[in-house]
Amino acid sequence: MIAGKSVLAFVMAGGEGSRLHPLTAERSKPSVPFNGRHRIVDFVLSNLVNSEIFSIYLLVQYKSQSLIEHIRRTWVMSPLIPHHFITVVPPQMQHGPEWFQGTADSVYQNLHLIDLVKPDLVVVFGADHVYRMDIRQMVQFHLDTRADATVAALPVPLDQTRSFGIIRTDSAGRIRDFREKPETADPMPGRPGHALASMGNYIFSADLLVDALRRAHKKEGHDFGKDLLPAMAETNRVMAYDFATNRVKGMREFEEEAYWRDVGTIDAYYEANFDTLGERPKFCMLNGQWPIFAAPDHTEAAQVHDGHIRTASLGAGVVIRRAVIERCLLRRDVVVEEGAEVSQSIIMDRSVIGPGAQIRRAIIDQYNHVPPGMRIGYDLDEDRGRGFHVSENGVAVVGKGQLKP
């Protein structure tokens, strides 16, 4: 209960994540590893649980097995407390043979779950962003403004509008126009060079959401941003919630205010990981008052036998043998052999960096064995020739298990 209202959450976790390939070659976007021992989905689930929203349906679709296993191991709610659950829901095909056709359709296909729980409010959040948010504050805004629907929003540069739903509000914050990923957009009043963008996080009054989903379905409208919300803005009170006003306990003074990243591309994902590093990171993973929960880890502590290490995150079970590590994130059970040099890179679980190997500005996915002396990230044409992916900003990516022992 929040402010006397029962709340049900739907988390959109079915994203294919094609722009994150090859990290999404065998897993969905929300299950891509992040930082030392997390997955991207852990951020939205942690925000919901920290906000005391405990009734959560996770809607999955593409390559979902990795995500399902992560939820099973990490996110077990007490079975003794009614309405405390995190349940994975694949397409049920109750209205036909189709998979989810879009974000709104995924909730429409699960209207029976709303009828089962009978909440006052339904929150619909995405599963592929890195941020902290006290959702209770957004719920209170929704109630105070007597909104039918509320959209979390923040300013983005005009050259990024094609990646977001762009909204225009009146002086009271009521949404008067909602356009999904427009080619161009008008700047915000008082913020030249920026437009107001939807974060993909919504709150609805439950009865109105059910009616809106049924109307959208009749018109073959399958998406919240493209179909349902623009239609609701014409007939209902749809408000924009300013994410910059949200305050989370335990934040450090040096952290970036209103930190939020859409990690939908390799370069955005790479930069967001490094935003968590250093003595004064933009986003500090350590926050005892608003933790980002992760899978329990029974691996032994990291071991450094010798070498040079500067600004690094070392996961459990890491072994470093007389190597150079500079500004890196090494996840669980990574081994870096003697003479290797690794800089500005993300090395994922159970990968081995062979003796004398040199790696810079790279992402090495799980279960890779980099051969002795191999150089990655130095000659990008050579990396492409080996079948590695190279991002627009020159980050070399080795797919899961691409380099065999």
State the average pLDDT over residues 205-225.
Answer: 91
pLDDT of residue 185: 87
**Banded model confidence at residue 98, pLDDT cuts 50, 70, 90:** low
Write a three-state SS string for 144-160. HCCCCEEEEEEEEEHHH
- Residue 64 scores a pLDDT above 90: no
Superfamily (CATH) of domain 303-398: Hexapeptide repeat proteins (2.160.10.10)
Q: What's the CA gap between 123 and 142, in Å, rounded?
A: 11
pLDDT in tens, 335-393: 999 999 999 999 999 999 999 999 999 999 999 999 999 999 999 999 999 999 999 99
Q: What is each CA distance from 139 to 115, 133, 143, 172, in whole angstroms? A: 21, 12, 6, 17
pLDDT of residue 219: 85
Per-chain mean pLDDT for the chain: 93
- Asked if 232 and 168 touch (Cβ cutoff 8 Å), the reply is no
State the average pLDDT over residues 275-283.
Answer: 97
pLDDT in tens, 140-156: 999 999 999 999 999 99
Where are the domain boundaries for CATH 3.90.550.10 in the chain? 7-254+257-262
Where are the domain boundaries for CATH 2.160.10.10 in the chain? 303-398
pLDDT of residue 95: 54
Give the pTM: 0.94
Number of C-beta neighbours around residue 110 at 10 A: 20
Token code pair at residue 48: 């919901």
- Asked if 331 and 348 touch (Cβ cutoff 8 Å), the reply is yes
Of the candidate CATH numbers 3.90.400.10, 3.10.450.50, 3.40.640.10, 3.90.550.10, the domain formed by 7-254+257-262 belongs to 3.90.550.10
Choice between 386 and 98, residue whose per-residue pLDDT is larger: 386
